[in-house]
Structure 1
Amino acid sequence: MDRETRVTVRRMTPSEFDEWQAELAAQYAVEQVAAGRWPREGAEQRARDENAQLLPGGPETDRMLVLRGVDAAGEPVGRAWVGLDHPRGMADVAFLYDIEVIESMRGRGFGRALLEAVEDATRRAGASALELNVFGHNRTAIALYGASGYDVVTQQMRKAL
């Protein structure tokens, strides 16, 4: 990775957190509806409620890493959210709830660099593994995770009838 695509992470500020929560809820609701898991009506509020339950202290929530990725010049390139306690109780396994490169920064290697920075922060926080879910239509993310050494541990499939 060259100097230009080096990414470090820091805790989000409260204003960055508020902006991210609004965007995250809207995106997550769309994905849940598209996947057929939630009805469209009330989906965004449901996403906001779920996130608020998981992040009651905002960016300072205990056992959560709510991170802003920045490039070598300190400019924001993305964000990520890691729970240090796995939602299914797996010991020493953290869970990546969200990771995203800012749209205007995509295609320049920041995704891989951000993922590596998040993995490093998670390791430093004491986790020995990082797990995530990815929607099947997100081929770019699937390719990135595969190239970064992630293995499929479960797979949910569907066929339209």
Structure 2
Amino acid sequence: MKNISLRKMNEEEFRLYFKNKIERYSDVLSENVHEEGEIPSSKARKQLNNLLPEGRKTPNHYLFNIYKDEQTIGFVWIKVEVEKKSAFLYEIFILEEYRAKGFGTAVINIIEDWLKEKEINYFKLHVFGNNTGAYKLYERLGFGIAGINMLKSIY
């Protein structure tokens, strides 16, 4: 797919991304994490601040906007550990109106080429069980299951 590119976020883009990410991650936690105690928005903010203590300048973390031509269509957040030859995809987020049109596949291919240039051998990610669209995409792109968390409600 042509005219797809990744560009590192600037400070203002990161600020807007981070605010939106807290809201989206809070929703994911509400749907998927079944624990008493801390409210999802507080937990999301705390976890994200722990992962990115220096914001977009946190070492080994790469935050990109996804562009189709000059239109932002999503975001990517990756952590690269060169010494382990490993990368972790914290997020690929495609805006709703661009989903199921091949953009996710194109972005993963771009990321994989970028990781190959860095001589990274392993590309890891986590997907929640109810995110069937993402799961199918990753499976189609060759990702395999490395472990499974399971949950049973007992009342």
Q: TM-score range, shorter-chain basis?
A: 0.7 to 0.9
- Give the superposition deviation at 1:37: 4.1
Matches within 5 A, 1:1-150: 1=1, 3=2, 6-39=3-36, 41-71=38-68, 73-85=69-81, 91-150=84-143
Task: From the superposition, tell whether residues 151 and 121 of structure 1 become closer, same or farther in structure 2 (CA, over 3 Å).
Answer: same
TM-score between the two structures when normalised by the length of structure 2: 0.87
Fraction of identical pairs, as percent: 26
TM-score between the two structures when normalised by the length of structure 1: 0.84
**Alpha carbons 2:5, 2:67 under 8 Å: kept:** yes
User: What is the aligned residue count?
Assistant: 154
- Give the superposition deviation at 1:38: 4.4
- Give the superposition deviation at 1:60: 2.5
> Per-residue displacement from partner, 1:108-153 (whole Å, max 9, x unpaired)?
2111111222222333334211100000000100000000010001
Structure 2 runs not aligned, ≥5 long: none
